[in-house]
Structure 1
Amino acid sequence: MSVKINVAKELGIKKAIEVEPTNKVIRDTWKIQKTQVKMKIKQASRADSEDAIEEMLDLMLATQDETISYVTDTLRLTSAQAKRIDDITFNETVDLANKISAEILGIKTVEATEEEVGLEA
């Protein structure tokens, strides 16, 4: 059963985009999530050598490219629609990719409370 993904807020596309959760789409979803986790782990390591910094920058560039490709390919955006991604921030792009992933995998997302993330007063 296909899922409808609303990207009006992020990309200004008024009509919800229908995505069929095929094996390819699911596989691409797992790949983008794996890429995001790799970047988080690498950021947490905080190595200061020149090689480590260069490696981190390479990973960040690859993550950005893969995230944009994931959004563009999964939603089957036209080139004009895909250009809109250049006008949003990287964090907004990651949030959009996560929203798409959640919809495809049937995951309901909710905001964490301060207590749940360890920021209770």
Structure 2
Amino acid sequence: MREKTTQGGVTAEKKKDGVPISYWSAALNMLAWKAGLSYGKIQVWAQFHSEEYGKWMHELRLSYEKAAEDGTLKDGIVTLPSYMPESLPRRATPLPHGWSTEKHIIGK
């Protein structure tokens, strides 16, 4: 369920560090998948590795802002930053055919 607020009669999605909650959540879920962790465990990782998580969030915000400025930000598509935190493990299994860990479509 998306969190939304009303600003001046227009419904706007809430943001976390300048990134819409649904975009941030989908990106964090993709990062968890790349690391072979659950969504809950990636949030625990973020608490214990706040410096790396902060850098990842900064990179995510920059990529989101760049896509918004370029007009390449498409509704429902999330692109991960190229930065992968060093303290996260890497998923050992290969991706299923046709899957990408760089882009993800948010379910509506």
User: Would you say same fold, with TM above 0.5?
Assistant: no
Structure number with greater Rg is: 1
More strand by share: 2
- Normalised to the residue count of structure 1, the TM-score between the two structures is 0.33
TM-score (norm 2): 0.36
Q: Which has the higher helix share?
A: 1
